[in-house]
Amino acid sequence: MFNNLFTYGVLVIALAYIYSRNSSKDWHGVSSPETGTIAGWKEHITPPAKRISKVAVGVNGNADLIVSATELLRTLGVDPSKGKDHDLLNSLQDLGEAFSFFFERGAAAERFFSNEKVYAKVIEAADKLPNKQYYVGGNAALSGQKIASIIPDCQVLFVGPVGPKLKRLFHERITVPTSSLAASDEVHLIMEYAKGETWGSMTTPIATRFITSNDQANGRMEKLELFADNIKEFGADMVILSGLHLLPGQSESFWKERLKDVVKEIEKIPRSIPVHLELASLADSKFMHQVMEQIFPVVNSLGLNEQELSFVSSAGNGPHQGVIESEEGFPEIGVVGDIMHWILSTYGQGKLAGSRLTRVHFHSLSFHVIANVAGTWGNSKSAVGIGTRTASQQACEETEMTAEKYSLKTPEAFALSVNSPPLRREIIMYDPMNPITTWQRDGMEFYFGPVLVCKVPGRTVGLGDSISAMGLSYSEF
């Protein structure tokens, strides 16, 4: 029966795509869907009644060294090769194969470089490239930087390893305890590439990046206990946690104990303070399963992208394993909604005794979805809107958006589910003047918003963290 439902669901979505590509264009009095969406955001995004004033963020931070991926690989003497994913990188060959694997798919990914000497050689070569740039790096640090730069009345506490480069790059409104300061920076390598760029016989369908590091302090979550100790003294009204994805670079015995420590420290935080966990790219299914079983139930909110959503479903034996992306390279909206529904149904409040989890924020290049347990979060319609608008603005590096610089990549007609018959039969026609679509399912609220994809992006790294941070800042717990 499942196969029949799935086939029917895919057919419905396919028909929606066909309809949308061939229907007459009526954009409600505006010249394009991009122009209408920008106007729709201005009309429908409203700040929460009460803004957060103190946010504690931890525990991973580093200096991002951003370079052209293909330029660096040529400098290192790495030739194009058949793509092959590696859980850990140990050589230049591993780097080349893993990069090719994700480059061909146009998928963002992050892998730990376990060989310290080879990684040092890679960083040395990257640092000598003429067009290199250093930015704030690390999911937690990026979230804190975004909140501090956008919300003028919000104080941000950051706890994590902070070297001289990162300290100079931080916004002036970010407070860093003296005990977080380090003599040198952890450096993560961000290998960026543009849409249509070629590597050997491969051409990538979108602009994105491949990340690698040989992180030691972040990889052991060394500042975890310090972070938890500072939250109460700081008086935080929201907590953002990230950095778990770096633990698999350590031994299994180490990360198993560290996950127990994470649970212990989170449980010290009063339940009146929401805790958001921002995931990042993972390849170890055993580790991912433990995070889902142990960490998901002790946080209130979860942020993740399409690769992470797919991996969560695979590791937890959830729905639509391996079919997260459509033939056009973008996730199917109904498939995403089904997996988010499964996450909250399996690990969320009301489904699992004692669970805090009530919110999931999915973000991809082409659209976002926020799912809440009904009655637990407010202003979510604006939260998903501000997240999508932030993604567009940051990618094109502009505050006032110029419609011609963007392209709407989500379908003009789509179904809300594959697994739920009532939702599967409901085809939504996208209205740019009302860019946020909402629906309910089994005591959950869903909020969908399209991203206007920047045609010539300036930066691809850090978008997910900024998106989640802005979505949280507009949410009411």
- Cα(292)–Cα(339) distance, integer angstroms: 14
Q: Is 127 a catalytic residue?
A: no
Q: 274 by DSSP, 3-state: which?
A: coil
Task: State whether residue 360 is helix, strand or coil.
Answer: strand
Listed residue (73, 129, 76, 68) closest to 100, CA to CA: 73
Evaluate whether 227 touches 56 at the Cβ level (below 8 Å).
Answer: yes
**Concatenated DSSP letters for 24-87?**
----TTSSSHHHHHHHHHHHH----SS---EEEEES--EEEEEEEHHHHHHHTTPPP------S
Choosing from 185, 215, 284, 465, the catalytic residue is: 465
Q: Which residue spans within 194-325 are E strands per DSSP?
A: 198-199, 202-203, 208-213, 238-242, 275-278, 301-304
H helix runs in 151-223, sequence order: 164-169
3-state SS string for 86-134: CCEECCHHHHHHHHHHHHHHCCCEEEEECCHHHHHHHHHHHHCCCCCEE
Catalytic residues: 465
